[in-house]
Amino acid sequence: MTSRKWKYISINFLCLLVCYGAFSSLKAQSTSDDEIEVYLSFSYRSAINSVVIAYYKNDTFYIPYKEVFQLLEIDHNTRLNAGVVLYGNFLEEETPYQINLSTFQASSGNKNLSLTSDDFLIKDLDYYLEISIFNELFGLDFDVDFNNLALLLETDKNIPVVQKLIRQNRRQQIQRNDRTLNLNYPVEYGRDRKILGLGFLDYNLSAITSDESSIFLFNTAIGAEALGGDVQGAINGAYSADASNVTTSNLRWRYAITDSPVISSVTAGQTSSSGILNNPYRGIKITNQPLEPRRLYDEFVIQGNTFSRSEVELYINNTLADFQETDETGNYRFITPLTYGTSAYDIKIFGPTGQVVERSKRIQVPFSFLPPGEINYNIDLGELENPLIGTQERGLTAQANTVIGISNWLTARAGAEYFESLNTSLPTFTGGLSARLFNRYLFSTEIANDAFVRTRGSTILANAASISLAYTNYFAQNRIYNSGNYDQELQGSVFYPFLIGNIPLNIRLFGSRIEREPRPISRYRVDLSTRLGRFNVRTGFSNSNTTNDFFELSENASANFSLTYNFPRTNTTPKVFHGMFARGEISFLPTSSELDDIQFFLSRKVFKKGNIQLNVARNFRFNYNSISASIVIDFNKTRVNSRYRNIRSSSSVTNTVRGSIGYDANNNNLFLTSRNQVGRSAAAVRLFVDYDGDEKFSEGDELIKNNAIRLDRTGSTTSKNGITYITQMQPYFKYNMEINKGAIQNPLLVPKQEKFGVISDPNYFKPIDVPFYSTGIIEGVVNRRFDAETEDGIGGIRLFLNNIDQNTVQELRTFSDGSFYAYEIPPGNYELSIDPSQLNILNSKSLPSKVSFDIKALADGDFVEGLEFMIVPEDFEPEQVNTISTESIIASVKESAEIIELEEKLDKDVDNALRLIIQAQTAFYNRNIDRALTFVNESLALFETAQGYALKGSLNYLNGNKAEAQKNWDLAAEFNPEIVIPEIEVLDQIIKTQPED
């Protein structure tokens, strides 16, 4: 066992105390006129992470002009023909600037500044300006953090290096998004079915008090696991002095099957049918529709031609999705995912000479479409919740339908629907086709025998304009499919945005015509809206009549105008108006030339998470006033709403409390929130140090209270009692989770699994326990053999440490004596080898060519030593080695039982001592100095070393015991006179300059 391990560990602790020692001496010389060279770390908005050499003189800092502007990528030049002149053009405004160090004059745009000889330093490699000059001339507010020796920058300028990084990150994000879509982490926490698992309770409690009576309402939704499936539904009730009642709605049990294409779920209880009309019923539903809604429908090709050597960017819904450079003929081609819903595809072309061309396309994919080759079905059997129109009985129902994706532009559906009180013999057969033509036009046809045929068409244009039209022809009158006794029905709508000058306008038209006996029904509406600054303006006209003249005005015709204003959050706006918007609306009756009503609405945010609203109205047609005022406050754990209403001198007050209660049975925690949780999932993530190695959280294990979980989808994250709770998850979904190791306070800890998949459990807090272990240490040596009798350690040799499990490679270097070590090595399987390019330079090979070993997952970290390589000439053969008598003697001595026993005991003591030091280090990272001292004392009891006493001294100093600290440091110096021991005075100075935690 060598002392290199002790050297590595002691350096870690001593650096915590002396890393600022250099700056304490710098401050001691702050009153001197000497120029002190200082190394400052310079980090700025993730775009810069460098070290800048500055000078400290007369209590101020001088920073290098050329180096800083080069890092910021700001234009900078030097002219020496007539003195020393620094000049250039500043940022995108290209503001000319000049700093003449010979005439002591500086200017930037309209700014002029006189300099003195104390404002700059001229050095061989750069020109150093006093730090405040950068702010006065350019608005770059530099500062120096004395404690951390860091150069800081604050500015509202668009720094070129940052803008460049934003563009790079935007494009790199594309690749990351592509990888995220394709993430397929192995599922470590699958579906966990339970006989009974308590979950969530959503509540909504209201009390309505009026002049005549009072009534209390409650609406609660429950969610739990039962018999391997999920249970959820609502219980509603009302109570007053006269009556009370309790009902249930959508109360059902569902058994989900996540890995079968034949059947995905079976539902029993209150649900809705999946036919042409969604009728509520009590019974059973069987389907193979995916539990996780489809997001991707197909792939879509966007291609075109433009200027050669142009940069082409593809935006999907205003988000950069891909980019490429055109070939010499100017062609570009993107293959992009086509998602459900409406997607906007925009092409931006940046030509080689600065041309900018934009092309747009919008594609709509309804959720009723299926990808090619997909088949979905639904089967519904049960009793209707409500009687059909014209009957007193609810009756039985049986329905079945299937949907088939024929191609990427055509989907077909067919089904049969039976209602006991409607169908006397055969059921009603249904069918339909949905088509997407030319990627823009949607058409669908739906038919039900002896009922109706319906045709729809719609399109969305590139400028977001849209047109839709629907026509229905009814074959017969019945209580299900034609309850209004219609003969024909036609509906249409148009939306069109346009500009008049710089004013954006939107026009929306809607019209419908229903043919029936004895009179037809016609309706239409026209709206025109715009935004002028912070004003939203809308005017509209609507009419409905029962005559043959579609445009004939009736007494229901109404014209209205509304104006909404959002108050800005500026210094010139009184604070009382911050977070407020006001809206006024007026309606007019054209046929009678009278006002219909006037309304005024005011809303303002209060208490950070509250809102107060006031609504005042006057109805002129029926001659009454109304007023309502309400306040809503979200307390995170619950939401409270109080509302007062007065109509026709009749008043009422409604008070409502709503929220949700979740119970984490595994950790015995209640989770309260104002957001509904029933029908969703949650996870309780517990990170812990697994001291007993059983991969389970048990007594003696240490909880890691850092929130270090990343999710590949949206979710609400919070912490309670050291457990990270992720709520608002979708049930039965697969989530990819990652451990953010940068958020773990102790950098020596690594998780057993850094990336893993999780299947969420419905209406339940899924327990996820992630064990952590200390990283390992490896140690070895590389020797070089020159001949049969001569060998020596060789420094500067590069070794590659290959993590076989994660397919990553780490580079190591040997010291001058050939030794090497590495720490913070995660558990796993490894291979270590020497860089073959260096072996080629030496005309040598290594024996062995590689070394394989494992780092075990141990709470105190694993130690792997004795990793040895011998570099020998390429023609070297092992049998050429001559065994000398001294080595034979030593070998024979080592083989004696007594020596082996002593050696094993020594190795065991040293290893245990090292493990105790690692535990001390972990305790130190957790700010538990007393516990760290206990571990160090136990280590010294096993194996006394200079490094151990040095560590004990450092810990005693941090604990405020300077006398004991000096005593242990003296003992360390007796063991090893060359060990580095800090001076008490220097440490005192460091402590004084440190900020309070």
CA torsion sign, 675 to 677 to 678 to 680?
Answer: positive
Hey, how many other C-beta atoms are within 10 angstroms of the C-beta on 640?
16
- Residue 841, H or E segment: helix 836-841
Nearest to 258 by CA among 713, 960, 803, 733: 733
Q: Sorting pLDDT into bands at 50, 70 and 90, what band is 171?
A: low
Higher pLDDT, 613 or 3: 613
Rounded-to-integer distance, Cα 653 and Cα 650, Å: 11
Q: Residue 20: what pLDDT?
A: 35
Token pair 């409270």: residue: 640
pLDDT at residue 5 above 50? Answer: no
| Sequence-distant (≥ 6) Cβ neighbours of residue 699 within 8 angstroms | none
Q: Residue 286: what pLDDT?
A: 95
| Sequence-distant (≥ 6) Cβ neighbours of residue 499 within 8 angstroms | 505
Average pLDDT over residues 940-966: 81
Q: Could you give the 3-state DSSP secondary structure of residue 746?
A: coil
Q: Sorting pLDDT into bands at 50, 70 and 90, what band is 841?
A: confident
Q: Name 428's bridge partners.
A: 417
Q: Residue 477: what pLDDT?
A: 78
Token pair 């979905």: residue: 376
For residues 566 and 534, the answer to whether their CB atoms sit within 8 Å is: yes
Average pLDDT over residues 704-720: 81
pLDDT at residue 179 above 50? Answer: no
Higher pLDDT, 347 or 270: 270
pTM above 0.85, yes or no: no
Q: Sorting pLDDT into bands at 50, 70 and 90, what band is 880?
A: very low
Which of 38-47, 367-376, 869-878, 978-987 has the weakest average pLDDT? 978-987
Rounded-to-integer distance, Cα 906 and Cα 993, Å: 44
Q: Sorting pLDDT into bands at 50, 70 and 90, what band is 19?
A: very low
Average pLDDT over residues 342-354: 73
Token pair 């076989």: residue: 804
Q: Sorting pLDDT into bands at 50, 70 and 90, what band is 26?
A: very low
For residues 305 and 330, the answer to whether their CB atoms sit within 8 Å is: yes
pLDDT digits 0-9 by tens, 326-338: 877 788 887 777 7
pLDDT digits 0-9 by tens, 542-551: 999 988 888 8
Instruction: Pull the structure tokens for residue 801.
Output: 């440490």
Hey, how many other C-beta atoms are within 10 angstroms of the C-beta on 440?
15
Long-range contacts from 534-539, C-beta under 8 angstroms, 24+ separation: 534/565, 534/566, 534/567, 534/568, 535/563, 535/564, 535/565, 536/563, 536/564, 536/565, 536/566, 537/562, 537/563, 537/564, 538/562
Which of 264-278, 463-477, 668-682, 796-810 has the weakest average pLDDT? 796-810
| Integer angstrom CA distances of residue 361 from 347, 437, 463, 498 | 9, 14, 8, 17
Nearest to 709 by CA among 662, 749, 742, 667: 742
pLDDT at residue 3 above 70? Answer: no
- Mean pLDDT over the full length of the chain: 83
Q: Could you give the 3-state DSSP secondary structure of residue 363?
A: strand
Nearest to 515 by CA among 547, 487, 481: 487
Rounded-to-integer distance, Cα 633 and Cα 754, Å: 40
Nearest to 689 by CA among 500, 918, 461: 918
Percent of the chain with pLDDT over 70: 87
Q: Residue 482: what pLDDT?
A: 84
- Residue 474, H or E segment: strand 466-474
State how beta strands 776-785 and 749-751 pair.
Answer: unpaired
Q: Sorting pLDDT into bands at 50, 70 and 90, what band is 24?
A: very low
Average pLDDT over residues 572-581: 84
For residues 951 and 916, the answer to whether their CB atoms sit within 8 Å is: no
Percent of the chain with pLDDT over 90: 30
Q: Name 173's bridge partners.
A: none
* Side-chain half-sphere exposure of 231, counting CA atoms within 13 A: 14
For residues 718 and 709, the answer to whether their CB atoms sit within 8 Å is: no
State how beta strands 749-751 and 755-759 pair.
Answer: unpaired
Q: Residue 305: what pLDDT?
A: 83
| Integer angstrom CA distances of residue 370 from 95, 340, 380 | 57, 10, 21
State how beta strands 755-759 and 187-189 pair.
Answer: parallel
| Integer angstrom CA distances of residue 172 from 179, 323, 823 | 11, 10, 31
Cα dihedral: 910, 911, 916, 920 (round 10): 100
Q: Could you give the 3-state DSSP secondary structure of residue 915?
A: helix
Q: Residue 211: what pLDDT?
A: 78
Q: Residue 492, Cα to own-chain centre: how many angstroms? A: 41
Rounded-to-integer distance, Cα 458 and Cα 441, Å: 6
* Helix, strand, coil content of the chain in percent (nearest 5): 15, 50, 35
Average pLDDT over residues 837-856: 87
Q: Sorting pLDDT into bands at 50, 70 and 90, what band is 986?
A: low
For 50-110, give the DSSP string: EEEEEEEETTEEEEEHHHHHHHHT---EEE-BTB-EEEEEETTTTEEEEEETTTTEEEETT
pLDDT digits 0-9 by tens, 392-405: 677 899 999 999 99
For 920-971, give the DSSP string: HHHHHHTT-HHHHHHHHHHHHHH---HHHHHHHHHHHHHTT-HHHHHHHHHH
DSSP classification of residue 813: E
Higher pLDDT, 929 or 42: 42
| Sequence-distant (≥ 6) Cβ neighbours of residue 60 within 8 angstroms | 130, 131, 132
Q: Residue 269: what pLDDT?
A: 93
pLDDT at residue 578 above 80? Answer: yes
Helices (H), 153-253: 160-181
- Burial label, 439 (beta-carbon count in 10 A; 0-12, 13-18, 19+): middle
Q: Residue 900: what pLDDT?
A: 63
Rounded-to-integer distance, Cα 326 and Cα 592, Å: 65
Q: Residue 922: what pLDDT?
A: 67
Rounded-to-integer distance, Cα 692 and Cα 701, Å: 7
Q: Could you give the 3-state DSSP secondary structure of residue 906?
A: helix
Q: What are phi and psi of 880, to 5 degrees?
A: -75, -15
- Burial label, 786 (beta-carbon count in 10 A; 0-12, 13-18, 19+): exposed
Q: Residue 891: what pLDDT?
A: 54
pLDDT at residue 121 above 60? Answer: yes
Token pair 């429950």: residue: 222
For residues 755 and 737, the answer to whether their CB atoms sit within 8 Å is: yes
Higher pLDDT, 29 or 192: 192
Higher pLDDT, 430 or 292: 430
pLDDT digits 0-9 by tens, 486-519: 999 999 999 999 988 888 999 999 999 999 888 8
pLDDT digits 0-9 by tens, 390-449: 666 778 999 999 999 998 889 999 999 998 877 777 888 999 999 988 878 899 999 998
| Sequence-distant (≥ 6) Cβ neighbours of residue 355 within 8 angstroms | 307, 310, 349
Q: Which amino acid is at 879?
A: E
Average pLDDT over residues 849-878: 84
| Sequence-distant (≥ 6) Cβ neighbours of residue 878 within 8 angstroms | 847
Q: Sorting pLDDT into bands at 50, 70 and 90, what band is 309?
A: confident
Q: Which amino acid is at 559?
A: A
Q: Residue 629: what pLDDT?
A: 94
Q: Residue 224: what pLDDT?
A: 92
pLDDT at residue 225 above 70? Answer: yes
Higher pLDDT, 897 or 446: 446
pLDDT at residue 828 above 80? Answer: yes
Hey, how many other C-beta atoms are within 10 angstroms of the C-beta on 687?
26
Q: Sorting pLDDT into bands at 50, 70 and 90, what band is 773?
A: confident
Higher pLDDT, 213 or 1: 213
| Integer angstrom CA distances of residue 654 from 204, 294, 621, 641, 645 | 12, 41, 27, 8, 8
Higher pLDDT, 425 or 600: 600
